[in-house]
Amino acid sequence: MRLEKHLDSFIIEMRNTKNLSNKSIKAYYSDILNFIKFINEQNDKLINSKNLIKYIDSLRTIKKLKDSSIKRKIISLKIFTQYLYDYSIIDTYPFHRLKFKYKKEHTLPKTLTIEEVKKLLYCITSSFSLTSSNFKIFEGTRDLAIIDLLISTGIRIGEVCSIKLDDINIIDKTLIIHGKGRKERLLYLSSSATINNIKKWLDIRSNHLTNYLFLIRYGNPLTIHSIEDIFYKYRDLSKINPKSTPHYLRHTFATNLLSNGADIRSVQEILGHSSISTTEIYTEISLNRKQEVLTKFNYRNNL
């Protein structure tokens, strides 16, 4: 049985039938491929309960993975083995009556302090404000708009990469975000400083024909890794928490909204943890509520 061949077929079916991001598809592929390599090293080379238990045990004892990572891999294997069983590639579903216990991990979201956020913004502004280099001005204006947008909206860096010019309305101060699972949500840009920084960037990038909002100098859209590098550059220059990542800005945004009195339901919608309706009526109601919450509670407004 060529399991690699069945894995390829499984991935194709997942792409065609499930509303999954490329990141999720890659995670499924990686999880299952590692399991296949393990199976190929066994004497019987069978997908059965005994080998599954051995594999899960190896993840804990040999690879020392956290229970959260193991749980995700088990979910991948359950879906894959169900696929094999449904297509009569294996005779029995190996997870039948199998149960695994997990330790509950209590981890708090990591955030930056308000002072660290101020330092970060000041560092970016001062890095290009006195230079005469066109490239430095291009790069600095773009970087400031990106970091400020992350601070002001709490969106994911992957969502920043996918923003197009058509998604942003400077006059209405609205922004359409293309989130996980191809779900869209509408946000309100409550900070006038953020709006001004985006306007300055739009003026500088106006000569480029591509529709993506954030670009490198030669017109190609930025990648997730590019934005990570931008954040790390100014993180180190501003001497804020050296372990911080761009995702700290998302946690900081959400934490401050809740701390300042915003309701959880609104915060979940703003962060993209629930779907948004594309109908005109829902958009109007949703935008009014989010505009009220962000105008009243967004800490960026007062920096």
Question: Is this structure's pTM higher than 0.85?
Answer: no
Lowest mean pLDDT among 21-30, 155-164, 166-175, 269-278: 269-278
Q: Please name the amino acid found at residue 193.
A: A
Going by the DSSP 8-state scheme, the letter that residue 105 receives in this structure is P
Distance, CA of 97 to CA of 127 (rounded, Å)? 60
Residues 154-169: tens digit of each pLDDT: 999 999 999 999 999 9
Same domain? 221 vs 128 = yes
Same domain? 75 vs 118 = no
Q: What is the CATH number for 126?
A: 1.10.443.10
Question: Which residues, in sequence order, are CB contacts of 66 under 8 Å at separation 6+?
Answer: 105
Q: What is the CATH number for 22?
A: 1.10.150.130
* Residues constituting the chain: 303
For the chain, the maximum distance between any two Cα atoms, rounded to a whole number of angstroms, is 71
Same domain? 148 vs 226 = yes
Mean pLDDT of the 251-280 span: 69
Three-state DSSP class for 88?
coil
270: left (phi over 0), alpha (psi -120 to 50) or beta: alpha
Same domain? 61 vs 120 = no
Question: Which residues, in sequence order, are CB contacts of 161 under 8 Å at separation 6+?
Answer: 212, 214, 221, 222, 223, 224, 227
Same domain? 292 vs 209 = yes
Three-state DSSP class for 91?
coil
Going by the DSSP 8-state scheme, the letter that residue 95 receives in this structure is T
User: Residue 289: what pLDDT?
Assistant: 60
User: Residue 299: what pLDDT?
Assistant: 86
CB 272, CB 177: distance < 8 Å: yes
Q: Which phi and psi angles does 168 have, rounded to 5°? A: -115, 135
Residues catalogued as catalytic? 156, 180, 247, 250, 273, 282
Lowest mean pLDDT among 81-85, 142-146, 251-255: 251-255
Whether 243 shows a pLDDT value over 90: the answer reads yes
Of 48, 69, 86, the last residue of a domain is 86
Greater pLDDT, 158 or 23:
158
Q: Residues of the chain with pLDDT > 70: what percent?
A: 90
Which residues share a beta bridge with 186?
Answer: 176
Token output for 207:
């000569």
Token output for 122:
């000041």
Token output for 23:
């990141």
Same domain? 295 vs 204 = yes
Distance, CA of 223 to CA of 188 (rounded, Å)? 24
Distance, CA of 84 to CA of 28 (rounded, Å)? 15
Residues 187-236: tens digit of each pLDDT: 999 999 999 999 999 999 878 878 999 998 888 889 999 999 999 999 99
Three-state DSSP class for 209?
coil
Greater pLDDT, 101 or 43:
43
Q: Please name the amino acid found at residue 62.
A: I
Q: In what order do the strands lie in the sheet with 174-178?
A: 168-169, 174-178, 184-188
Question: Which residues, in sequence order, are CB contacts of 289 under 8 Å at separation 6+?
Answer: 266
The residue segments making up the domain with residue 17 are 3-86
Residues 48-103: tens digit of each pLDDT: 899 999 999 999 889 888 888 888 899 999 999 999 999 999 999 999 888 877 66
184-188 and 168-169 strand pairing:
unpaired
Same domain? 60 vs 134 = no
Same domain? 82 vs 118 = no
Number of domains in the chain: 2
